[in-house]
Amino acid sequence: MPHFFHPDLVFTEGAFRSGCGLLVKDDGWIEAVLRAEDTAAWPATRLAGKALLPGCVNAHSHSFQRLIRGRSERHSTGGDDFWSWREAMYRAAAAVSDEDVYDVARMTFLEMVTAGITTVGEFHYLHRSESGAAYSDPNRLGLQVVAAAESVGLRIALLRVAYLRAGYGLAPHAGQARFYESAAEYLENAAALADALHAKSGRAWMGVAPHSIRAVPLKDLEQMALWATEHALPIHMHAAEQPAELAACREEYGATPVRLLAELGLLSDAWTLVHAIHITEEEMEAMAAARTTVCACPATERNLGDGVFDAARAAGHGIRIALGSDSQAQIDLLEDARELEYHLRLTRQKRGILDGIGGRDLSERLFGYATAGGAAALGFDGGVLAPGYPADFFTVDLDHPSIAGAAADDLLPSLVFSLQRGTIRDVAVGGRWILRDGLHSAAEEIVARYKEIAARVWRQ
C-alpha cells in the first residue's frame, strides 16, 4: 500500500510547497505529490517542523581515501602539491585488506548519509591484493564496496576504474600495484561486474572509468569507450586537474586531454570529466556541444591546490555540472555547491557570479548541481521529487539555528549557503529510512570498526 510522507514543506518543481507531501508506492517510487487533505486513505508519517528535499547525489568518490583525512596536512619532504599528496594515498591503499575496504567504505558512506547524500558514484580502482596479486574474483574489492553501500542504505554506481600504467614513459609505480590491469583484463572484469550488478534492481550499477589519459593509453581508452557505449554505461574520467597532466599529454599526443577527446569525437552525453579545471574556451565549447558533464570537487580541489573550476564560464556555455566529494577531505555537497560560487567571488571580487546565467536562480542552480546534476552524470533518474522518480530524500529541522526563521521563499538560499550538518534529520532511499532523527542503526558498529582500522594503518 502507498505511504504518505507529510512534512511542513516539500521542495518540488523548484519551490517549497506547504500543505502537501509525497505519496510513495511500495516499490519505493513516487506516485504523486498530493495535498494532505487528499490522502486520508493511506498510512502517513507526519514530519512536523521539517522540510523535505531530494537527496544529494555524490558523483565522484574514492571511499578508501577517507583514511587520509588529517594525515597529509603538514609540510612533506617530497614537496607540497598533488603529486606529493599521492604518497599518503598510496600508503592507505597498500595497507587495507579486502575486509578493511568494506569497513572503510561503510564509514565513508555513513558520513555521506548524514550529509543528505542518497546515491554515490564510487570511482573504484583498488583491484588487487596488498601484494599486487590478482584475486580469484577480480571484482572482489569492488563488490565489497557495493556491499558497504547496501549495508548503509545508499544507491551506488560502481565506476570501475581502468589503470594501465603510471604515465607516459614512466616505469610502474610500486604505490599503484593494487590498481593495475591490462586493457583485456579490464574489459573482461568489467563485463563480469556488470553482470553481477544486473540483479540489484536500481540499487547498484556500473560505469566505465578510464582513470586519466596518463593512466590509460589512447588506443585502450578508445576501446573502453566503445564498449561502454555499446552497453549504454556512463563514462567517467579525470581530466585537466593538474598542469603537469596537460604537459605530459601534449608530449605524448600533441594536444591537451580535453582537446584530444574532442578531436577524436569521443565526448558525448554519457561522459563526465572530473575536475576539468585547466581548460580553454574552445574546449568548453566542445564539451557543451557534446553535452558532456563536468564533475567539480571543490573541497578536494582547494585541499590539493588544484585550482578553481570556472563554473561561470561553464554555465555560460550550458555545460552540465555535478559535484563530488573525491578524496573525502570533507563530505558535504552543499558546502561544495556554495564553494563553486565563493571561489569565483574571491577571484573576481564580485558577488552573485552564477546568478541569472541562462535565466537560473543562483541557489536553485547550486542545489541542482548537488542533486539532479549528479544523478544525470551517473545515468540515474534521481535528484528530483516528482511522480515517476525514486523516493530518495532528506529532511531538515526548520528550527535548527543555522536556518531558523527562513520563510518558504528564502529557505533554499538559507540551506545552500548556511546549512550545518546537524540540520539534516532524516534520510530515506526508496521510501525507506536509513537515517532517522539524526541516527543510523549501524553507526556505533561502523565507527568502532573504522577506528580500529585507522589506528592500525597509521601505526605501520
Residue 385 domain flag: no
> Is 226 within the bounds of a domain?
yes
Pairing of strands 15-18, 3-12: antiparallel
| 87 vs 269 pLDDT, higher one | 269
Mean pLDDT value across residues 54-59 = 98
Cell numbers at 32, concatenated: 504523486
The mean pLDDT of the chain is: 95
Distance CA 393, CA 206 (A): 22
- pLDDT at 373 > cutoff 90: yes
Is 67 found in the same domain as 18? no
Mean pLDDT of 68-88: 71
Residues 2-53 have pLDDT tens digits of: 999 999 999 999 999 999 999 999 999 999 999 988 887 899 999 999 999 9
Give yes or no: residues 44 and 137 share one domain: no
What pLDDT is attached to residue 198?
87
- Find, among 405, 394, 297, 377, the residue nearest to 343 by Cα: 297
Is 190 found in the same domain as 117?
yes
Query: What's the CA gap between 127 and 138, in Å, rounded?
Result: 6
- Residue 314 and residue 258 in one domain: yes
Does 80 map to a domain? yes
444 pLDDT above the threshold of 60: yes
pTM: 0.96
Helices (H), 198-332: 218-230, 243-253, 257-263, 281-290, 298-304, 311-316
Q: Is residue 100 part of a domain?
A: yes
Residue 416, φ and ψ in degrees, nearest 5: -65, -40
Of the two residues 89 and 209, the one the predictor is more confident about is 209
Q: Is residue 449 part of a domain?
A: no
Q: Is residue 437 part of a domain?
A: no
Neighbouring C-beta atoms of residue 137, cutoff 10 Å: 13
Q: Are residues 220 and 136 in the same domain?
A: yes
- Who's near 398: CB < 8 A, 6+ residues apart? 8, 9, 49, 50, 51, 404, 406, 411
Residues 242 and 196 in one domain: yes
Alpha-carbon dihedral 22, 28, 29, 33, rounded to 10 degrees: -10
> Is the pLDDT reported for residue 72 higher than 90?
no
In a shared domain, residues 40 and 78: no
Same domain, 7 and 88: no
What digits encode the pLDDT tens for the residues 257-316?
999 999 999 999 999 999 999 999 999 999 999 999 999 999 999 999 999 999 999 999
CB 202 within 8 A of CB 155: yes
- 119 and 23 in a single domain? The answer is no
Please spell the DSSP secondary structure of 310-375, one letter per residue.
-HHHHHHTT-EEEE--BT-S---HHHHHHHHHHHHHHHHT-S-TTTTGGG--HHHHHHHIIIIIHH
Asked whether residue 436 is domain-assigned, the answer is: no
352: CATH:
3.20.20.140
Tell me the mean pLDDT in the region 162-187.
96
Catalytic residues: 275, 326
Query: Which of 234, 230, 287 is CA-nearest to residue 256?
Result: 287
Domain count, the chain: 2
Report the C-alpha gap between 394 and 336 in whole angstroms.
18
Question: Which residue range(s) make up the domain with 13?
Answer: 3-54+393-429
- Clarify whether residues 111 and 45 are in a common domain: no
pLDDT mean over 134-162? 98
CATH of the domain at 40: 2.30.40.10
Query: Which residue, chain included where needed, has cell 577480480?
Result: 138
pLDDT tens digits, one per residue of 393-424? 999 999 999 999 999 999 999 999 999 989 99
Name the domain boundary from 343, 378, 413: 378
Residue 383 lies in a domain: no
Same domain, 288 and 158: yes
Residue 365 near residue 385 (C-beta atoms within 8 A): no
Q: In this structure, what DSSP letter does residue 92 have?
A: H
Task: Place 71 in a pLDDT band, splitting at 50, 70 and 90.
Answer: confident
Q: Are both 138 and 26 inside the same structural domain?
A: no
At 89 the pLDDT is 87
